[in-house]
Structure 1
């Protein structure tokens, strides 16, 4: 991989030699005859790597290393000297040098060290980038919506994130319970530790205890070696127990012990292990009803239900549908322009559809439209179950013209104004949704509002 490298040495011949060597490897090389000159270069240009002599007039290579790590900690530093001592080597490594080699050195040795240092640097930078992306994704941007219901969810997450309190997330399947759990983790002091998720309903009863707590060798048939469980792997972080209502009663007692004592034992183990883990649990079932039925422990329910966050169904937050459609459309397509991505007819169909699968179903629907090649989501690209869904309307009474006649235009204008007001009322004042409810474009809706003098205040 090509990189920008600064070579620092008071000997011109050494600088030129390393310059030719590194240039031949495809790198862009600058040179400095002292540590002071190198610092000036670093103030004007970012370098992926600095290769410096240790013994130079003025500041030494060790001094330069210390300044670089303070000024540009991601820059890899390789030190070269003719007077190698164990004390210098230890000091250099403590200060953050990638490596330390003595003169005379082999050309291949330098090539290998440079290559490995740059590969390590690239991995570190990629890890930081991915971690930043994950934290950005799950800070709150993973949860889409500005409806009243979602704002309440955001406020609760912000309040509980900094605490150690156990959180129970409830709601129908597909409402984003795991996204909420991740948002809690990535807004908490544990954000730099692990977030592990397990679907308790997807693991056989015979294996779930081992999955959570680990096991020792020989504890059961097939246990050929010691194995850590999720509680150990999530040490210092967050463990998300999805579908907690599916956990067998016998294991519920052991979960309760972990929550109370903050310790557990591996299957077949005799030693208690500490559990510094935050628990976030979720269920789409009514756990209180399960407690009454005797299929879920009451004491465990109250331990888990310190704070409860209920994820609203998509039917309850229909105002968020346009924002969700845009988010998923950008996720699955290369679209980066402006303008409408869905027709009013298609949007009206989405508003009318009850979405039993909630946000997950909407995401799959948008992905389908993208796969089918729709530049704009139109009614025809929606599945028949959505496209043909009908909302039953109240039957209109028969109209009769009075003996004295009727002003048809005035009557129609009055009716139109009433429907405009009802659409705005049903949409919570969101004009795009109101327009979709009436089967018209946003521009036509605004025109009709202006026509009747129905401004924001009205």
Structure 2
């Protein structure tokens, strides 16, 4: 089924050229899309964090936060939109960088409005398929140890390891891209569980399936097999439940109680990106003291170097270190997209390393 058949495509347009931005907005609205227009990168990121968009259409050259940084930040969101990047005429290298960093497509100015409409529809269709596949995924891929140079976070991780080892349900709170999923996968591996690691996002599930997965009592209307509950899928392993702030408190309490019971058979790790005013106590209550806050990268600059060197080494297949001036530059940035933005920047720089080089210099980041 096409995107149009499911209703209007929710499109965020980030364009600092006032006339062009207005033209895009009017054209896309005329094509039946639900459009939000912003004039700079920071406003675009704020909009993405506040609302669920199917597609983000962003210019590269914008004040505050450029289009590539916005792309990285968008990809770190739990319900990431497909991103179409618009570059200046002749900026082939920028288009290639955008595609390597995960953009759905990159188009150069001047472009035809009909081309943009077609890309928006196709990007929305891809996102719908991606959400359907990612609503619940099962993975048992080996993961590296969660490492931090921040003393308070290291202490919190140690407490989380102890809770995971005992099977106590755990709540992780932090902005998108701060490492909640990485930590959850490490805790699963560290606890040595025999079952799978199930990554579930109720927000990405159709309403009828969401109820079935959470409550575990779904019977197919056509007489087919029942849909297994999340707890059944995670038997003997770990259930990562993202966006627990969207789960009804009574249902969340039931899920936590089921996992904490001796016969529960699986560990439960819940995550939340933002806690609304007055909601924190309700969210924390089912988890007791097993709550860990993960600060953003801007609050722990020492971890920027650690993560960057891990990423570069993984890409190179051998240990890679950053030069002093490269470390200084990376640690000075605010990283609104957290680990996803850092990963995109490091990947682009590491791709410029010559074969056999073991140091990543500042010059690799400035090209």
Normalising by structure 1, we get a TM-score of 0.43
Matched, 1:254 2:255: no
Cα distance, 1:223–1:313 mapped onto 2, change above 3 Å: farther
Partner Cα distance (1:223, 1:311) in 2: 45
Partner Cα distance (1:180, 1:223) in 2: 40
Partner Cα distance (2:184, 2:256) in 1: 18
SS at match of 1:181: helix
Structure 2 contact 184–269 (Cα < 8 Å) conserved:
yes
Partner Cα distance (2:325, 2:258) in 1: 57
Cα distance, 1:378–1:323 mapped onto 2, change above 3 Å: same
Counterpart mapping for 1:276-425 below 5 A = 276-286=265-275, 289-290=278-279, 298=282, 301-336=284-319, 341-373=321-353, 375=357, 376-382=359-365
One of 201, 208, 211 as aligned partner of 2:210: 208
Partner Cα distance (2:323, 2:315) in 1: 18
Unaligned runs of 5+ in 1: 1-129, 264-273, 293-297, 385-458
Matched, 1:237 2:226: no
Matched, 1:194 2:200: no
Q: Per-residue deviation at 1:341? A: 4.0
Cα distance, 1:373–1:213 mapped onto 2, change above 3 Å: farther
Cα distance, 1:218–1:321 mapped onto 2, change above 3 Å: closer
Compute the RMSD of aligned alpha carbons.
3.3
Q: Per-residue deviation at 1:147? A: 2.8
Partner Cα distance (1:228, 1:344) in 2: 52
Structure 2 contact 169–268 (Cα < 8 Å) conserved:
yes
Structure 1 contact 194–235 (Cα < 8 Å) conserved:
yes
Q: Deviations over 1:261-289 (max 9, x none)?
A: 669xxxxxxxxxx7433221110111563
Cα distance, 1:149–1:364 mapped onto 2, change above 3 Å: farther
Cα distance, 1:383–1:304 mapped onto 2, change above 3 Å: farther
Normalising by structure 2, we get a TM-score of 0.53
Cα distance, 1:256–1:161 mapped onto 2, change above 3 Å: closer
Q: Per-residue deviation at 1:357? A: 1.5
Unaligned runs of 5+ in 2: 1-138
Point out which structure has higher relative CO (alpha carbons under 8 A, 6+ apart). Answer: 2
Aligned residues: 225
SS at match of 2:225: coil
Q: Per-residue deviation at 1:242? A: 1.3
Cα distance, 1:218–1:312 mapped onto 2, change above 3 Å: closer
Counterpart for residue 168 of structure 2: 165
Partner Cα distance (1:259, 1:323) in 2: 34
Larger radius of gyration: 1
Cα distance, 1:230–1:382 mapped onto 2, change above 3 Å: same
SS at match of 1:382: helix
SS at match of 1:206: helix
Structure 2 contact 296–338 (Cα < 8 Å) conserved:
yes
Cα distance, 1:291–1:205 mapped onto 2, change above 3 Å: farther
Cα distance, 1:368–1:228 mapped onto 2, change above 3 Å: same
Cα distance, 1:275–1:156 mapped onto 2, change above 3 Å: closer
Q: Per-residue deviation at 1:330? A: 0.9
Structure 2 contact 173–273 (Cα < 8 Å) conserved:
yes
Cα distance, 1:281–1:214 mapped onto 2, change above 3 Å: same
